[in-house]
Structure 1
């Protein structure tokens, strides 16, 4: 049995997307969102070269400090080079078993859950959380699949409960829909535009944390 890290706190996952947030200082955005209460950071970039990604990941990690883990989307090599806490993997990315072997037992590995086939492949011995999506329509990522909606989120969350892992929600979530996602069973939400395109990122993060923590308390979940 591997030596697990501290359980992942997925309440507020801030995704720093190099494409969606082009032209903005990702490290400064990371620092502002940490000040506002994000519990997990993820760096995603589909266009940048490897060296640029490593440099940006290092800058984000330095700005965030040690309080909040930084994950790299897709790229195990970038996570290793930048000293990130782990990776988030989609179904077309490196297999979790291979990522675990490369990153070691204490790295954080998260996976995307789009449907029941992803749940069937979910191995709690290899991964630390799942993220269900897309829940709503989003402009942050091309998604050929129709949105799951709250009913689909609730269905997949219930099916994932046997894993014992925290499970978040992603895609098109804003302040008005964050609490309904928690009520549907999510342990937290992942945000790009709703957080990082806000005029005051720290204040927006605080607003989301208040909504999320209140919704978790109403559901009887520990925060």
Structure 2
């Protein structure tokens, strides 16, 4: 082995698997094309090959890797690593202990270990590994795993155990070009520790064009890593001021009325009519579609997606919808209605959040508490029980960091956070609690404002807007605040009308007042505090 430990770029870590090669594709040819496409580290894995053949494959692989200055690791077999002078080894939880491997290998050898739990990570750090492979992120056909799927959201917890160390981290299992961005974006610890790279097998090895398969993933990874120090959601000046929000929500309401964006809603059947009417009143166009087969086309046409799983029907459609909207970089609003009420709801929410990345998560205290595994607030069906969180501002800030999404906590006062800024909104009227679906209509309004922001950002006609309006274009935090304010301020106008005598007359008046909202009304009546 070389005298100094090589500097390793973990961005795109290829794990080989010759059994996955497409018919007629030569292994060494595929390997070289993959490296030319952007693979930065290679692990040779040969689980069912005798020693002689493994040695030959490893030698030939090393020649190609070192031709391009790419380090090569050997899976498990320290004897093979020593025989060919590999740059290091990757070992699993049931393979040779790290301390023995370290004694056998030269001091400059790279040692990586697969870790599936926080305890695994802590032990690996203690043992002095150079990197850990965290997962499985998703189920995979390329390797039977002894541990349950961790999921994208579970990777963040594993990353927490690395804080304070120099140990690098890559995500493993089921990663491909269509989900790698979600994996990178969602796999972040609350303090901001992110992945150093991703390990990929079949999406490259099984491709007939490994050069472009690798290039596609490498471009995503490198772009993400280059932007990790930039604001994730905000295109507005920082720090925020109240006028930023008042101005921004007006810009987005005007965009909704001007462009009438399509707002795709998968929502519970109790509130379909109210949600459609609220969307129309604000100036957008609703479509309620649930078939998985429609999602690819709709995600290209619509300005935003709302997934409200109050009656948890068409889970396949929900999975397909978020995935396709992520692929088309469109806002996704998730409203996990009653998520804490049953185990099935909690399991379904986890399934969705591990399949795609929401832009905004909206819920009451019980719903968001269930997502955060908090015991402060209890659920009674779709409602919250108790006095709420002791520190709601800290709660929404921390949950936004954990979920990498804008969080909207609804209640007597509403809290919105992007993980840094927390906004408290104090508008609203008691009648909202006396009609069915008012909370769901908040999700609709948030999705509508997000659609307005998204459409404005992508429209060539947005060049006509003033320079000050461009400051908040595309800002999902402002859009989320706008959606909440639209519902709560309209409710105040409706309740003050002389024709409103109770909840029965309130609902139609409320829809009327949603339609009568203007940027000036929102700015004049919004009760906004930045905490």
> What is the TM-score of this pair, normalised by structure 1?
0.91
- Give the counterpart of 1:171 among 170, 173, 176: 173
Q: Per-residue deviation at 1:120?
A: 2.3
- Give the counterpart of 2:215 among 198, 206, 215: 206
1:36-185 maps to which residues of 2 (within 5 A)? 36-66=37-67, 67-123=69-125, 126-183=128-185, 184=187, 185=194
Give me the whole-angstrom Cα distance separating, in 2, the residues matched to 1:127 and 1:83.
19
* Cα root mean square deviation, aligned: 1.9
8 Å CA contact 1:8, 1:128 repeated in 2: no
The unaligned stretches of length 5 or more in structure 2 are 188-193, 231-531
Larger radius of gyration: 2
Over residues 180-207 of structure 1, what are the superposed CA-to-partner deviations in whole Å (9 max), with x where a residue is unaligned?
2222222111011011111211111111
> What is the TM-score of this pair, normalised by structure 2?
0.40
Give me the whole-angstrom Cα distance separating, in 2, the residues matched to 1:124 and 1:68.
27
Over residues 11-60 of structure 1, what are the superposed CA-to-partner deviations in whole Å (9 max), with x where a residue is unaligned?
00011124444975332222111111111000001110111101000011
* SS of aligned partner of 1:137: coil
* SS of aligned partner of 1:180: helix
Q: Which moved more, 1:44-53 or 1:115-124?
A: 115-124
The answer for the alignment partner of 1:9 in structure 2 is: 9
Change (3 A) 1:123 1:159: closer
Give me the whole-angstrom Cα distance separating, in 2, the residues matched to 1:75 and 1:197.
24
Give me the whole-angstrom Cα distance separating, in 1, the residues matched to 2:63 and 2:8.
20
Give me the whole-angstrom Cα distance separating, in 1, the residues matched to 2:77 and 2:138.
25
Query: How many residues are aligned here?
Result: 219
Give me the whole-angstrom Cα distance separating, in 1, the residues matched to 2:159 and 2:99.
23
Q: Per-residue deviation at 1:157?
A: 1.2
Give me the whole-angstrom Cα distance separating, in 1, the residues matched to 2:26 and 2:142.
18
- Higher relative contact order structure (alpha carbons within 8 Å, sequence separation ≥ 6): 1
Give me the whole-angstrom Cα distance separating, in 2, the residues matched to 1:76 and 1:22.
29
- The structure carrying a bigger helix percent of its residues is 2
The answer for the alignment partner of 1:188 in structure 2 is: 197
Q: Which moved more, 1:184-193 or 1:19-28?
A: 19-28
